[in-house]
């Protein structure tokens, strides 16, 4: 939704400037029978940098000139490239015009000095030369982004070569050629090599950002954006950092570094080419303790978060077998959940767990795959230490990119929502996440390598990510269906959960409250029960070391039980739901079991309209 200066003299970019939150007051009635139809223009000399009504022709109703108003406001971002050689500052002119069918009429102008240094500045300027002598003003926020230091010539040449080669393509790993799969596995194994003793590998460094060891502090060491509107953006920056290291590893092996991070589309296609878990992953990173122990340092003393190291050392990799994983995934109608996410109109609902909705956000299928895959994937603290984590999250990023393709106004909506603090945490103080650094990540490549990664950067992967997908999820056609009935776990408090849980729902007729659902010992024995209705997942377990978790609002978890109700000939009014919770240690617990280490899981049946 941004416009760019296209004069070739400006394309050798020294930086960029954007104008947002634009408003004005007290305009004259320039038209004979109505108020003014104003737009705003920013100029450097005779060169136009940006103007608000330029977007009118591009975006239609969104971002257009505010028609017939004397106190207009614009909600779009207006972006321009900056030229080289303009010094430490430049004098700009902001002018306001009335859009007419013939010649546009000037409504006032002001000049201001813009310091060319990274930062955000909001200013309100009195306008001069206003018709009728009115006291009119214009207000806007400018954001300047410049490289922190000049790029040396060799680095500039390397960046040029990378751009010439084009972006890398992310592909479904089970559809890649054997040669491509082996090349990917070799690069990951290279990343796992320790460079200066145990726990010095690039893989360990990156894996540790997701949970343990985090930033290395004793308390609240975990980076976390789960359940927030920044959830997909933080993980997008995370994947880009991993992919850059993967490309470096590929170059270290004598290749050209033009290798993309694959995705694992287990949501839509649980089994592909006879594989559920990719065969290449089993071949090089199979179950057992050998691979993770090679990453760790057993000799480090106990204390602090050392128990996290010990758990990964002891349990190693224990990914679920293909048969169980395929059955549980197929039972969840995940393609429908993908469609749900793609049809949500509001970005904050699609990206986070905030609010209630009859549709699933991108975090719902994300959580389910995590809890179904086994250890370490189901452990929030350790999940990123398994290669499946990166393949799964790449697929979630692919789902998110499909959402953005269908909802091109998401960035402006995200910024506006966060600015007004209408849809952010209300427990311990709201704050604007749109303008917060996605710690600890920096933009990749060349002169941008020392610039912090912000949410605004995540909306343009061509510019900041250097990757494309070979195919995106298609948004399905909306169909008229009966109102679904959900088993709803209301107000789940992440702070009460010591670990992740899989929640299995069973439907019984009213009067069967004393019935105990099967408590394992296997997932098959649970799913074979005639009253089994479905499952949900809660990906949790680091609230004690995570500020974001501690400040998170409660949320709902929903399981669609419509099919089982219909099969049993029951309605929500004459049925009850019973739940078995399974923790990370594979302990099966019925609701109300006093050994349950988490909150007492309780579900209610609720029919909801499709939104």
Q: Tell me the C-alpha distance between 44 and 91, whole Å.
A: 7
Residue 582 lies in a domain: yes
Does residue 158 surpass a pLDDT of 60?
no
Say what the pLDDT of residue 609 is: 44
Question: Based on the domain organization, do 493 and 396 belong to the same domain?
Answer: no
Q: Where are the alpha helices (DSSP H) in 208-358?
A: 231-252, 279-285, 290-295, 306-315, 322-330, 334-343, 347-351
Residue 248 clears pLDDT 60, i.e. is over it? yes
What is the rounded distance in angstroms from the CA atom of residue 551 to the CA atom of residue 80?
37
Q: Which two three-digit tokens encode residue 422?
A: 């209408």
User: Does 397 have pLDDT greater than 70?
Assistant: yes
Count of domains observed in the chain: 3
| Residue 446, domain member (yes or no) | yes
530 and 587, same domain (yes or no): yes
Assess whether 132 and 171 both reside in one domain.
Answer: no
Which of 145, 172, 197 is where one domain is finished? 145
25 and 128 in one domain? yes
Residue 267 carries which DSSP code?
T
Half-sphere exposure of 434 (CA within 13 A, CB side): 19
The pLDDT score that the predictor gives to residue 8 is: 31
pLDDT at residue 582 in the model: 80
Give me the long-range contacts of 524-529 (CB less than 8 A, separation at least 24): 524/324, 524/327, 526/580, 526/588, 527/327, 527/328, 527/331
DSSP character string of 449-471: GGSBP-GGGGG-HHHHT-EEES-
Cβ-contact 316, 293 below 8 angstroms: yes
Regarding whether 496 and 412 lie in a shared domain, the answer is: no
**Dihedral angle, C-alpha 474, 479, 483, 485, nearest 10 °:** -30
* Same domain? 118 vs 94: yes
Q: Which of 15-24, 64-73, 195-204, 505-514 has the lowest mean pLDDT?
A: 64-73
3-state secondary structure 117-163: CCEEEEEEEECECCHHHCCCEEEEEEEEECCCCCCCHHHHHHHHHHH
Judge whether 61 lies within some domain: yes
Task: Please check whether residue 314 lies inside any domain of the structure.
Answer: no
Q: Where is pLDDT greater, at 558 or 567? A: 567
Asked whether the beta carbons of 338 and 270 are under 8 A apart, the reply is no
Eight-class DSSP state of 317? B
| Per-residue DSSP letter, 221 | -
Asked whether residue 549 carries a pLDDT value surpassing 80, the answer given is: no
Name the band, by pLDDT with cuts 50, 70 and 90, for residue 157.
very low
In 3D space, the residue among 207, 541, 561 whose CA is nearest the CA of residue 389 turns out to be 207
Q: Which residue has the tokens 């909801």?
A: 608
pLDDT score for 154: 32
Q: Tell me, yes or no, whether 289 lies in a domain.
A: no
Whether the Cβ atoms of residue 559 and residue 533 lie closer than 8 Å to each other: yes
Q: What mean pLDDT is reported for the chain?
A: 76
The answer to whether position 287 is within a domain reads no
* Location of structure tokens 């399905």: 476
What are 312's two structure tokens? Answer: 């990964």
CATH of the domain at 566: 2.60.310
Please compute the mean of the pLDDT values over residues 134-146 and round it to a whole number: 84
250 and 388 both lie in a single domain:
yes
Residues 124 and 16 placed together within one structural domain of the fold: yes
> Is the residue at 271 inside a domain?
yes
- Kind plus residue range of the DSSP H or E element containing 388: helix 387-406
User: Looking at the domain assignment, is residue 315 inside a domain?
Assistant: no
**pLDDT classification of 30: cutoffs 50, 70, 90:** low
In the prediction, which pLDDT does 192 show? 97
CATH number at residue 49: 2.60.40.150
Longest dimension (CA), the chain: 83
pLDDT exceeds 90 at position 194: yes
- Pairing between β-strand 47-51 and β-strand 485-492 as defined by DSSP bridges: unpaired
Average of per-residue pLDDT across 447-452: 60
Q: Are residues 187 and 261 in the same domain?
A: yes
Do 186 and 105 sit in the same domain of this protein? no
Tell me: do 495 and 404 sit in the same domain. no
CB-CB contact of 318 with 373 (8 Å): no
Structure tokens at 610: 């499709």
228: DSSP letter: S
Residue that wins the pLDDT comparison between 155 and 260: 260
Is pLDDT at 258 greater than 70 in this prediction? yes
Residues 21 and 76 in one domain: yes
145, 177, 194 - which closes a domain? 145
* CA pair distance 417, 412, nearest whole angstrom: 8
The encoded tokens of residue 375 equal: 């250890």
Per the DSSP assignment, residues forming a β-bridge with 109 are 95, 128
Choosing from 145, 166, 186, the residue where a domain stops is: 145
Instruction: Tell me the residue range of the domain where 349 lies.
Output: 158-277+320-425+432-469
CATH code of the domain covering residue 240: 1.10.1280.10
The per-residue pLDDT for range 509-542, each reduced to its tens digit, is 988 777 888 887 888 888 899 999 888 877 766 5
């Amino acid at each position: 939704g941004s416009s760019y200066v296209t004069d070739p003299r400006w394309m050798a970019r020294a930086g960029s400037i954007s104008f947002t939150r634009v408003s004005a007051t007290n305009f004259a009635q320039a038209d004979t029978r109505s108020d003014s139809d104003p737009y705003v223009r920013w100029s450097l000399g005779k060169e136009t940098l940006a103007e608000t009504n330029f977007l009118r022709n591009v975006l239609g109703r969104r971002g257009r000139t505010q028609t017939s108003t004397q106190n207009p406001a614009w909600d779009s971002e207006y972006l321009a490239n900056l030229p080289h050689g303009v010094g430490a500052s430049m004098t700009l002119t902001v002018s306001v015009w009335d859009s007419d069918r013939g010649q546009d009429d000037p409504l006032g102008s002001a000049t201001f000095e813009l310091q060319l240094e990274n930062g955000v500045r909001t200013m309100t300027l009195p306008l001069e030369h206003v018709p009728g002598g009115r006291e009119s003003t214009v207000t806007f926020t400018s954001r300047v982004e410049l490289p922190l230091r000049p790029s040396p010539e060799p680095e500039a040449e390397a960046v040029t070569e990378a751009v010439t080669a084009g972006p890398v393509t992310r592909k479904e790993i089970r559809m890649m050629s054997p040669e491509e799969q082996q090349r990917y596995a070799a690069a990951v194994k290279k990343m796992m090599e320790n460079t200066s003793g145990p726990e010095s590998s690039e893989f360990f460094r990156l894996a540790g950002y997701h949970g343990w060891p985090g930033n290395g502090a004793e308390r609240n060491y975990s980076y976390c954006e789960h359940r927030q509107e920044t959830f997909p953006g933080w993980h997008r920056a995370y994947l880009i950092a991993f992919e850059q290291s993967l490309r470096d590893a590929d170059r270290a092996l004598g290749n050209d570094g033009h290798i993309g991070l694959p995705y694992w589309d287990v949501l839509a296609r649980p089994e592909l080419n006879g594989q559920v878990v990719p065969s290449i992953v089993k071949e090089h990173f199979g179950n057992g303790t050998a691979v993770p122990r090679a990453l760790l340092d057993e000799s480090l003393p106990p204390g602090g978060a050392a128990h996290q190291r010990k758990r990964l050392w002891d349990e190693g990799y224990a990914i679920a077998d293909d048969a169980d994983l395929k059955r549980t995934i197929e039972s969840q109608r995940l393609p429908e959940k993908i469609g749900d996410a793609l049809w949500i109109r509001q970005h904050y609902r699609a990206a986070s767990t905030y609010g209630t909705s009859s549709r699933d956000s991108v975090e719902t299928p994300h959580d389910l795959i995590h809890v179904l895959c086994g250890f370490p994937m189901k452990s929030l603290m350790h999940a990123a230490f398994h290669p499946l984590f990166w393949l799964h999250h790449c697929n979630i990023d692919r789902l998110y990119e499909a959402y953005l393709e269908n909802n091109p106004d998401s960035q402006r909506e995200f910024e506006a929502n966060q600015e007004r603090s209408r849809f952010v945490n209300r427990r311990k103080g709201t704050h604007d996440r749109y303008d917060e650094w996605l710690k600890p990540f920096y933009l990749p490549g060349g002169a941008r390598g020392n610039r912090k990664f912000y949410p605004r950067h995540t909306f343009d992967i061509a510019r900041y990510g250097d990757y494309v997908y070979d195919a995106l999820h298609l948004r399905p056609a909306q169909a008229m269906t009966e109102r679904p009935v959900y088993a709803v776990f209301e107000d789940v408090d992440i702070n009460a959960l010591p670990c992740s849980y899989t929640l299995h729902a069973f439907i019984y007729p009213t009067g069967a409250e004393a019935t105990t659902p099967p408590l394992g010992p296997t997932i098959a024995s649970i799913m074979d029960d005639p009253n089994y209705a479905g499952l949900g997942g809660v990906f949790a377990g680091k609230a004690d070391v995570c500020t974001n978790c501690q400040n998170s609002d409660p949320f709902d978890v929903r399981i669609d039980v419509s099919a089982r109700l219909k099969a049993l000939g029951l309605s929500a009014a004459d049925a009850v739901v019973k739940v078995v919770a399974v923790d990370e240690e594979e302990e099966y617990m019925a609701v109300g079991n006093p050994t349950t280490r988490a909150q007492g899981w309780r579900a209610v049946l609720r029919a909801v309209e499709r939104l």
